[in-house]
Amino acid sequence: MNLNHHIAGMPAGYLFAEIARRVKEYEAAQPDSRVIRMGIGDVTRPLAPSVARAFADAALGMATVEGFYGYGPDGGYPFLIEQIIQHDYASRGVSLGMDEVFVSDGAKTDTAALQELFSADATIAVTDPVYPVYVDSNAMAGRLGRFENGSWGRLVTLPCSFENGFVPELPKERVDVLYLCYPNNPTGTVLSKAQLQVIVDWARANETLIIYDAAYKAFITDPDIPTTIYEVPGAREVAIECCSFSKTAGFTGVRCAWTVIPKELKGRLPGGGSASLNTLWRRRCGSKSNGVSYPVQKAAAAIYTETGRQEIANTISYYQENARLLLDTLQKTGLKLAGGVHAPYVWLKTPGGMSGWDFFDYLLKTASVVGTPGEGFGTSGQGCFRLTAFSTRENTQEAAARVFDAINKL
């Protein structure tokens, strides 16, 4: 059989495999070292008790006649969608219809799958550095041309760096789709409402679709920073938003998320005419998915109870305190820093112009601390490094102190 040569032609999924290889080699050579992992963006705190209880009750209920549920409604159970609309949107002055929210098993699943709605030759733009899923999913669909000398022939990249304050300069050429992620992974930066308004206005003028990934919105501490792009006037006409319970409520292993596709959102069809993206996505999901399990959706709905909200807020505060600790300690090194305030990621410029990988090796060998080299997220990540706040308090304190000492030795 003939294979999808676009997948075969992808660069290897190298970043975390290479990190694991280097750490394994180091631990084998230094068996007494106590390595602290501050690299991968998985959470470490347990599920909120009220969430676990709702999960278990629903699972046990499935063994009874009255509590048994088979296939759920397309797009998610109304009991969950209602809570999402009320707490994540109405509370921010945004009104959404029940049929504009689609529950799924992950923001990764949805941000990767949404490209199925685009034409084969649609042009794609991403900010750089970037969460790699947006790029890889379009590359696998054959939309990005060839990968040569470290970049894709047909991908438009918008550099975000310390130099431009992590505010992307909009492309000169027209693009069909722009992926945005705020709070940003990996840089931990956010955009103000005014900055987002500029992008939304540009998207409206250019008929560009924005895919807005708000997986880290629970970390936003300033009430003036939008937690949803729909706080920005005009966004309903141009933006799809993907959100997740993964980082908000520790669901990385439970799996539940949602995507919003407003009814106003339209795209052009070949030969003229237009179609609603909401309709196309519902059609696509109906054919490709039977949704998320009933106990998982019950668990997700439990985060919106009074106790659930308090419990998940405590967990977010715990990670925010870790981020503050990292920032406070690193600030004393004089390095250039970003993020860590409205996001669980601290992004730093490596000392002495080291590459991210050289700094990775240096920290591993000098401090037994693992972070993520910026190069793994794109060209503009060169010479940068990401540390996460998803560790335990003890490990964060210890890692911050060790990194501080290691930098001072340079």
- Residues in the site for ligand PLP, rule: CB under 6 A? 41, 106-108, 131, 181, 185, 213, 215, 244, 246, 252, 257
- Beta strands (DSSP E) in 100-140 are 101-104, 124-128
Residue (75 or 351) nearer to ligand PLP, CB: 75
Q: 184 or 350, CB closer to ligand PLP? A: 184
Give min distance, CB of 102 to ligand PLP, in A.
Answer: 13
Which CB sits closer to ligand PLP, 351 or 376? 376
Instruction: Select 185 or 208, whichever has its Cβ closest to ligand PLP.
Output: 185
The residue among 100 and 105 lying less far from ligand PLP, judged by its C-beta, is: 105
Least Å distance, CB 40 to ligand PLP, is 9
364 vs 36: CA distance, rounded Å: 9
- CA torsion through residues 53, 59, 63, 68, sign: positive
Residue 138 vs 368, nearer CB to ligand PLP? 138
Residue 299 CB, nearest distance to ligand PLP (Å)? 14
In the complex, residue closest to ligand PLP by CB = 106
DSSP β-ladder status, 151-152 and 372-373: unpaired
> Smallest distance, Å, CB 108 to ligand PLP?
3
In angstroms, what is the minimal distance from the CB of 65 to ligand PLP? 33
Nearer to ligand PLP, 213 or 311 (CB): 213
How far is it, in rounded angstroms, from Cα 314 to Cα 4?
Answer: 46
Find the radius of gyration of the CA atoms of the chain. 22
- Whether cis (ω within 30° of 0) applies to the bond prior to 78 is no
346 neighbors 386 (Cβ within 8 angstroms): yes
For residue 195, report the phi and psi dihedrals to the nearest 5 degrees: -65, -40
User: How far, in Å, CA of 132 to CA of 374, rounded?
Assistant: 12
Kindly state the smallest distance separating residue 252's Cβ from ligand PLP, in Å.
5
C-alpha–C-alpha distance, residues 195 and 127, integer Å:
14
DSSP 214-262: -TTGGG---TTS-SSGGGSTTGGGTEEEEEEHHHHHS-TTT--EEEE--
Distance of closest approach, residue 320 Cβ to ligand PLP, in angstroms:
17
Confirm if 315 and 250 have CB atoms less than 8 A apart: yes
Cβ proximity to ligand PLP: between 245 and 304 the closer is 245
Contact (CB, 8 A) for 264 and 237: yes
> Among residues 187 and 368, whose Cβ is nearest to ligand PLP?
187
Q: How far is the CB of 242 from ligand PLP (least distance, A)?
A: 7
Q: Identify which of 49, 50, 69 has the alpha carbon closest to the alpha carbon of residue 60.
A: 69
CB of 110 to ligand PLP, least distance (A): 8
> Residue 79: which of 48, 65, 58 has the closest Cα?
58
